[in-house]
Structure 1
Amino acid sequence: MTDSVTWELRGRAAVVTIRLPQVRNALGPREAALLGRTISAAAAHPDALGVVLTGEGAFSAGGDLPAIVEAIEGRDAAGVSEFVYRDFQSMVRALRECPIPTVAAVDGAAIGLGLDLALWCDARFLGPKAKLAQGWATLGLIPGTGGAKVLQELLPGALWHLLGQRPMNADQAAALGVGVRSDDALAASVDLIEGWVPVGRPALEGYAALSRSHLPDDTYLQECARIQGQRLTSESFAVTAQAILAR
């Protein structure tokens, strides 16, 4: 494991932390794949009753644009779709298949891919610096990690009101029902999991499995990857990405 993603056991909570503060925890394909593997490794610890997903300095500001542009160079739409499914979507498959409950401790930016990660978790705490937005659309992309369906299930109709809008702060997001406002999102997440000690891991595994029927299946994720491959190889994305990178 590299230092860009780490995990540690805090009591009965397996805390997975994204540590790329220089880019506000934006993720390229390699970091995304590492995060997926780390979530699975953390959940496998026999003493863990839940997994907390968080980030150093931010939750995740989305995809790492320079890394993505580098990764798609020379690939056609089908080739890009393949690595979107293999690398980026490995994170959300790890959350969907996590044997124990997952909690997002969101403080700082959770944009686009970052918002998707928070939404895939079973519960969310929102710290005072939380900023949440559906940021894919500003790049001409779709929620390539399945966030459109997850958001639709959690908050029907909210997607259309978030497109192109400014980020929501913690109070606004909590008022919509995205998560629970907390002065210390990480501490609240760990405390929540500590409260599950009387329940025990076997029962928690049952609750986790039964509560995720609304999450996107692989057929949906493959369709997201297919559409995202088309968008990432489009001329409009190339123009937008070049303009952003030239700033």
Structure 2
Amino acid sequence: MYDDLTYETDRGIATITIDRPGVKNAFRETTLEELNDAIRHVTDDDGVYSLVLTGAGDAFCAGADVTEMPDMSEQTKADYAGYLWKAQNVVRQLRSTPTPVVGAVSGPAIGAGCDFALGCDVRFVDDSTILRQGFVKVGLVPGDGGAWLLPRLIGEAKAKEYLLTGRDITADDAVDLGLAVAVADDALDAATAFAEELRDLPARAVQHTKALTDPSLSFEDYCERAIDYQWKCVNDSEHDEAVAAFGERREPDYDREYS
């Protein structure tokens, strides 16, 4: 289906794997196009209830593949904007898809690769994980979302420490800062187990709860949106089944077809 990714589904869980291990999953333009397409596919698939994003081999994503970068001498600003938009839109889609996204971040997640990890709703790491916003070290700015995401995830001062210096965030740092849930022996196994837990909850409630965590909402916008979402949940059949199962001390049995 894709050249630079693998896309698999198993009982309602989709797994997207950036699959260029020979270059530590560094992306080229084709990779960005395929990531955007794959995430759209997840959003449009009613049989997918959670998504795991990971990388093949010993890396998550080492950023842009410099051997495949467009020739800047032949680019206009509009050309470059179109290229950068594709990377930004990966992050945009990870955040905006109703489907909860769990990152399995093993090895380096550098530059835009770090931003792809930060765009996930929840992250699991292992001892080899390195998150790095290294743009300043090569004379660039975090153009793919990192300087917007990181302050909202760990606070302005700590974010600036990493953004302005390009210092590494280790696995233990990531947990201490709240960027990762846990340092796991196997990040993919841990992420998949968490994705299974999310899959087995009432889907509408999970999706709307994700939307309510949008940090750009004012409190009043949040309250208005919460009323709308809660009304939809109250009238959802999975809410009814969850309440009935709780009262009867059994596991809920939702009427679903899984991809």
TM-score normalised according to structure 2 size: 0.76
1: distance between equivalents of 2:214 and 2:24?
Answer: 29
Output one character per residue of 1:180-221: Cα deviation in whole Å (capped at 9) or x when no partner: 221111111111121134422222221222223449xxxxxx
Q: Counterpart of 1:44?
A: 44
Letter in 2 for 1:80: Y
Output one character per residue of 1:134-155: Cα deviation in whole Å (capped at 9) or x when no partner: 1111111111111111101001
Match runs of 1:1-247 below 5 Å: 1-57=1-57, 58-70=59-71, 72-85=72-85, 87-156=86-155, 157-162=157-162, 163-180=164-181, 181-214=183-216
1: distance between equivalents of 2:10 and 2:95?
Answer: 22
Shift of 1:10: 3.0
Distance of aligned partners of 1:88 and 1:198 in 2 relative to their CA distance in 1, 3 Å threshold: closer
Query: Could you say which structure has the greater relative contact order, defined with CA pairs below 8 angstroms and 6 or more residues apart?
Result: 1
Letter in 2 for 1:5: L
Q: Counterpart of 1:234?
A: none
Contact 1:150 1:214 in 2 (8 A): no
Contact 1:92 1:117 in 2 (8 A): yes
Q: Counterpart of 2:223?
A: none
1: distance between equivalents of 2:78 and 2:54?
Answer: 32
Contact 1:12 1:47 in 2 (8 A): yes
Output one character per residue of 1:63-84: Cα deviation in whole Å (capped at 9) or x when no partner: 11122243x3411223312321
Shift of 1:111: 0.7
Output one character per residue of 1:30-51: Cα deviation in whole Å (capped at 9) or x when no partner: 2112111111213433232111
Contact 1:5 1:34 in 2 (8 A): yes
Q: Between Structure 1 and Structure 2, whose CA radius of gyration is higher? A: 2
Contact 2:42 2:99 in 1 (8 A): no
2: distance between equivalents of 1:92 and 1:166?
Answer: 21
Distance of aligned partners of 1:214 and 1:120 in 2 relative to their CA distance in 1, 3 Å threshold: farther
User: What percentage of residue pairs aligned between the two structures are identical?
Assistant: 36
Contact 2:124 2:180 in 1 (8 A): yes
2: distance between equivalents of 1:129 and 1:205?
Answer: 31
Aligned length: 213
SS at match of 1:196: helix
Contact 2:54 2:105 in 1 (8 A): yes
Shift of 1:2: 2.0
Shift of 1:165: 4.3
1: distance between equivalents of 2:123 and 2:196?
Answer: 15
Instruction: Show structure 2 runs of 5+ residues with no match.
Output: 218-259
1: distance between equivalents of 2:206 and 2:51?
Answer: 12
Distance of aligned partners of 1:109 and 1:34 in 2 relative to their CA distance in 1, 3 Å threshold: same
Contact 2:135 2:141 in 1 (8 A): yes
